[in-house]
A and B are shown apart, each in its own frame.
Chain A
Amino acid sequence: MTPAAAVSEAIFGLPPLLVSLTIFVLTYAVIVTERINRSVVALLGAGLMIFAGVLNQAEAFHGIDLNTISLLTGMMVIVAITQKSGVFQYVAVKAAKVVKADPWGLLVMLSVVTALFSALLDNVTTVLLIAPVTLLITDALRISPYPYLFSVIFASNIGGTSTLIGDPPNIMIGSAAGLTFNDFLFNLAPVIAVVMALTLVPIYFIWGRKLHASAEDRALVMAFNERESITDARLLKQALFVIVLVIAGFILAHSIGQEPGTIAMFGAALLLLLRVYDKQAEDQSHAIHSTFGEVEWITIFFFIGLFVVVAGIEKAGALDFMAHKIVEWTGGDFTVTAYAILWVSAVLSSVVDNIPFVATMIPVIQSMSSTFTPQQIETLWWSLSLGACLGGNGTLVGASANLVVAGLAERAGQPIRFLPFMLMAFPLMLGSIVVSSVYLWLRYL
């Protein structure tokens, strides 16, 4: 008897498909309610998949994509160290001064800076670095921070879509589909630049043209000394050195036969070495312990749990079934399938977390390889990425970065409310999906 047959029997005679789907639906339902921390729910769901006999432990571990986990963890360590150098604050203040603290110019610059940082860092880190500077500058200019925080949210989700490392869905997609850093850059960055520019047009007409700051208040911002933001010049040099190496590594990864997970982890270890090599053993432990403490473990364990839950329904055949159903609905028409994935991903990601959605869709798209050519499958990955990442802009709960900005705004006495945000953001998000649709049509369909 094969081990797989043995586990099927272990589930009290119930069909594994039914058992695994029940655990999957329950897990996702509890995640959506947000009553219990998502990482705990995902890990409980993963445990149940194994206890119920859908997977054995070896199969569960096999389902965990360690390339994704290493890439995420490695980048989190690098960012945790780098942000202490004050370099991000330096760039934001510099950007404000380049446009002479003109309110509309400032909005454009902060959006562009946020989009660029988001492309290289995770979105939550980016907004945590940019939003406080935004609040300070708008405070000094005595203008409402709302349009700026709104634009920072949009820019972080848009910018994050453009690279392999910009947004967790891309990390998962790239890892599962074997798409490289350059693949993402060449296929997504062009449309992202257009989406970013076009998003600023309605923002200009709604808020931008009415923004005004007095000459004295602008002079106050011009008097900011961005050099003072650099709190640790040695740290800055070390961090920039490692970041340049790591990004070069991502760009060259494919041709040197390495995976991004290895590169990010190695970069993290190298930066840790540079930080502690001249310290006593006890100080080393202390510094490294505190850096590791800044890794977003909730996200990492959430991923681990989800990978196992998805591996469970995949093994039971549910995702294969779903892929066949989608192909059946779209009549096997490639264009319809690509658009369906783009639009459904966008609408769903605007209300639920895009990470579990993408984790589920990856095996679904993989099982479509019997219907479509590898070239077509690659286009489906871009549809999934654009839909899932840009969709996060649709509502305040669409992405973690949105909630982080809303949280900061709330504590700063400038609350961003769910409904007013959605009334503006949802149509804008749909606009970005229309642009993506045109792009897919022109380039791939």
Chain B
Amino acid sequence: MTLRAVTLLPEPTCLSPDTSLLDALRRMLDKGVNHLPVCDGGVWAGLVDINDILYELLPVSARVDHGLKDLRFVGDGIPLLASHFKELANKPVREVVHHDLPTLDEDTPLLEAALLLHRHVAPLPVLDADGKFKGMLSRRTLLKHLIRTTGY
């Protein structure tokens, strides 16, 4: 059985690479998802992860290797966070997008899809024969399909 039999995530709305990280974050919070696909003219262009948006809010001093190990001494850091939120509004998703994810297509076997989803801990894009973006396959979608198919 291949992915052709699986219903993909509803509303495969794609972000444009120029969408700001702040808009991307708002969209994620509205939809209750942690990842959003990015498309450039209908062609798959990568995935934005909410964890990367959280990362952008941290001071650079804590992000780098050998950086600060804890930030407890900074206090709540609300003004610092506020100034970083301002930067989110000016930073396009293009700069943080993950390009290196594998892509699936309708002929991908379910077992292979399960393996890839496990390895990458994120939803993966499904493309049609022309390479156009069709929708996202999440772990939940696949597992829902599998539990039904195997009769448990």
Q: Is there an interface contact between B59 and A128, defined as CB atoms closer than 8 Å?
A: no
Q: Is the CB of B83 within 8 A of A224?
A: no
Alpha-carbon distance A132/B72, docked complex (angstroms): 14
In whole angstroms, how far apart are the Cα atoms of A224 and B77 in the complex? 9
Which residues of chain B come closer than 8 Å to A224, judged between CB atoms? 73-75
Task: Report the stretch among A105-113, A302-310, A393-401, A406-414 that lies at the interface.
Answer: A406-414
- B28-70 contacts to A (CB < 8 Å): 59-70
Closest to B76 in A: A223
A133 within 8 A of B: yes
Report the bound CA distance from A133 to B72 in whole Å: 13
B79–A216 CB distance below 8 A: yes
For chain B, which range describes its interface: under 10, 10 to 19, 20 to 34, or 35 or more residues?
A: 10 to 19
Query: At the interface, is chain A mostly helix, strand, loop or mixed?
Result: helix
B-chain residues with CB within 8 Å of residue A93 when the two chains form the complex: 73
Q: Is the CB of B64 within 8 A of A228?
A: no
Given contact pairs A132-B61, A412-B63, A89 touches B80 in the complex (Cβ within 8 A): no
The total of Cβ contacts below 8 Å across the A-B interface reads 66
Given contacts A135-B59, A408-B66, A408-B67, contact A142 B73 (CB under 8 A): no
Judged by a CB distance under 8 angstroms, whether A231 is at the interface is yes
Q: Is there contact, CB below 8 Å, between A136 and B61?
A: yes
Contact B75 A89 (CB under 8 A): no
CB distance from B81 to the nearest CB of A (A): 11
If A134-B61, A135-B59, A135-B61 are given as contacts, then 14 extra A-B residue pairs at C-beta distance below 8 Å, sorted by A number, are A89-B68, A128-B66, A133-B61, A136-B61, A140-B59, A225-B72, A225-B75, A229-B73, A231-B69, A408-B65, A408-B67, A411-B60, A412-B60, A412-B63
Using CB atoms and an 8 Å cutoff, list the residues of chain A in contact with chain B: 89, 93, 128, 132-136, 139-140, 142, 216-217, 220, 223-229, 231, 408, 411-414
A-B contact pairs, 8 of them (CB 8 A): A135-B59, A136-B74, A140-B79, A220-B80, A228-B72, A229-B72, A411-B64, A414-B60
B: residues with CB less than 8 A from A are: 59-70, 72-75, 79-80, 83
